[in-house]
Structure 1
């Protein structure tokens, strides 16, 4: 079939058969996607077995709760970020800390504090370096933002996240810190490590077919919000990781690479109330003021809540 014949067929099956109220937006999207799928079947000469194997793959990925991981691994999340950047530019919005992917591992409801929080539960103390992350939240005019909400989450030394890894305590390595009167937030935590997709999972199975690895560099995720400002979804990846610029999820961007500095000065160690050397990352954040005609930075998607 040619495209005109395909379009007519899809319309006949999915538009002309309507007998009740129609959600026009859903109809528009379904018709377009089904038409594109039918065209791809024609162009690639997909066999019925290949089509059904594809459907089985998505069934398995859904049952394994890996569709969010797949969206990152195939670049869908990164593509949405690039589109959002373009729409911001078209609306005259520029500056601020770059956005990057959220990933599938956020959990709502992390403990809240002002200015400072210890993120880890102590289970890995002495087994992995201590890390202090701190920064100042400002707007693009340089104004300090008191009371900005900084949500942070990252993996443990095995590359696993609490809630999804039931061996960890609730909200381990997850915190919400409201900036203090100086616009500052400080998190005492442990060094995150890079990790890979589950080796026997559906995402890695597809990546294997594509000749791709499924590894991520060491990183820390952020949501940052403040009244009157656009929500920032971002993360920093840590300098020195072998996958820094080879992130399977395409999340590394200029402006989002952080350097972990070794701190061995005894006076600074004592000032921080620590027992030995630690690593330090400074990650300052710039938020952009909300604009009435700008596209929303709030993304509606299903997220875990503990």
Structure 2
């Protein structure tokens, strides 16, 4: 069957078969996706068993709540970021903090504080390295933004996130920090570790068949927002990680790997009220002003809320 024949069939199934008012956008998207799928089946000569195997795989991935992880691992989430970058470049926006993927593990409603927050609950303090991270949120002209929101979340030393990992305390390693009058934010936490996909999960099953690992470098996620400015979704990677530039989710980007400084001077330890050397990261965020020339950066998707 040639592609034109397939297009005719799919139009008949999706468009011509409609016997009541349809949503034009949904009809357009389903027609395109169904047509592309049928063409792939024809071009690759997929057997019925292979097609049903794929359907069973997607069902299992959905039941395990791994479709968000799969979207990251196959590059789909990175592709959406590339398109957003291109749209901003066409609108003349340049010089802001690079965006990168959100991932599937954000939880709304983290406790809010002004200027500074402690993220960790202390349960891993005997095994982890204390981290202080600080910086300023600027607008695109370099003016500090007071009252900006810096939402931050990261994994524990086992690579697990609170809420999804019921052994952790509520909102462990999650906070919302409102910048002070100078646009500054800061937090204390522990240096996170890298982690991998669930080894027996749907995503790793497919990655194994593709000859790929499922590892992520240690990283910290951020939403940064301010009135009149475009919301930023990004994350920083911890420099020196084995998978720093080999992230299975393709989220590593230049400009998002700040240096990590180890601090051991007694005066600095006293100032931070710690009794052992700690890691320090300085990182500033730069937001673009709202503009109608580029699509909205707000993404509607299913997210957890505690």
Q: TM-score of the superposition, structure 2-length normalised? A: 0.99
- Report the secondary structure of 1:101's partner residue: coil
1:195 CA drift (Å): 0.1
Task: Tell me the equivalent position of 1:105.
Answer: 105
Matched residue SS, 1:246: coil
1:113-147 deviation line (CA, Å, top 9, x unaligned): 00000000111112110000111111121100001
Distance 1:93 1:128 in 2: 39
TM-score if structure 1 supplies the norm length?
A: 0.99
Q: Give, in angstroms, the shift of residue 277 of structure 1.
A: 1.0
| 1:166 and 2:173 matched | no
TM superposition shift of 1:292: 2.1
What is the CA-CA distance between 1:168 and the residue it aligns to?
A: 0.2
Measure, in 1, the Cα distance between the counterparts of 2:186 and 2:272.
11
Partner of 1:207: 207
Counterparts of 2:31 and 2:93 in 1: how far apart (Å)?
A: 33
Distance in 2 of aligned mates of 1:160 and 1:78: 22
- The SS at the match of 2:245 is coil
Which secondary structure does the structure 2 equivalent of 1:294 belong to?
A: coil
Deviation readout 1:22-42 (Å, 9 max, x if unpaired): 100000000000000000000
CA positional deviation for 1:84:
0.6
Moved more, 92-101 or 22-31: 92-101
2:289, 2:141 → 1: CA distance?
A: 10
CA RMSD of aligned residues (A): 0.6
Q: What does the per-residue CA deviation read over 1:255-300, in whole Å, with 9 as the maximum and x for residues that have no partner? A: 0012221100010110111122110011111011111232100000
Aligned counterparts of 2:111 and 2:79: Cα–Cα separation in 1? 32
**2:188 corresponds to:** 188
1:53-68 equivalence runs, <5 A? 53-68=53-68
Q: CA separation in 1, counterparts of 2:284 and 2:11?
A: 52
Unaligned residue ranges in structure 2 (runs of 5+):
none
| Number of residue equivalences | 306
Whole-Å separation in 2 of the counterparts to 1:258 and 1:61? 35
Superposition pairs for residues 57-206 of structure 1, below 5 Å? 57-206=57-206
CA distance in 2, matches of 1:35, 1:127: 53
Whole-angstrom distance in 1 between the partners of 2:268 and 2:182: 20
Unaligned runs of 5+ in 1: none
Structure 1: 4+ residue segments shifted above 6 A = none
